[in-house]
Amino acid sequence: MSREERSARLMKAAFDSGGDTNTVLAFFVEQMSTEQSAQLKAALRKGRRS
């Protein structure tokens, strides 16, 4: 398993066990830098095309 896969699994586990997923996600996104937010948006766009 790659470092990136492990990180993604840890993030999913945090979302699954963190209570209200919408609130967890909102707090997570608020902590992102502008660059990280742009990367997330690009990944979401890419995922929708797949």
Task: Give residue-wise pLDDT tens across range 4-46.
Answer: 999 999 989 988 998 898 998 899 999 999 999 999 999 999 9
Task: Print the SS3 string covering the chain.
Answer: CCHHHHHHHHHHHHHHHCCCHHHHHHHHHHCCCHHHHHHHHHHHHHHHHC
Can you tell me which residue has the tokens 């209200």?
20
Cβ atoms 24, 18 nearer than 8 A:
yes
Q: What angle (nearest 5°) sits at the alpha carbon of residue 3, between those of residues 13 and 49? A: 75
Q: What's the CA gap between 8 and 11, in Å, rounded?
A: 5
Predicted confidence band of residue 50 (pLDDT cuts 50, 70, 90)? low
pTM for the full model?
0.67
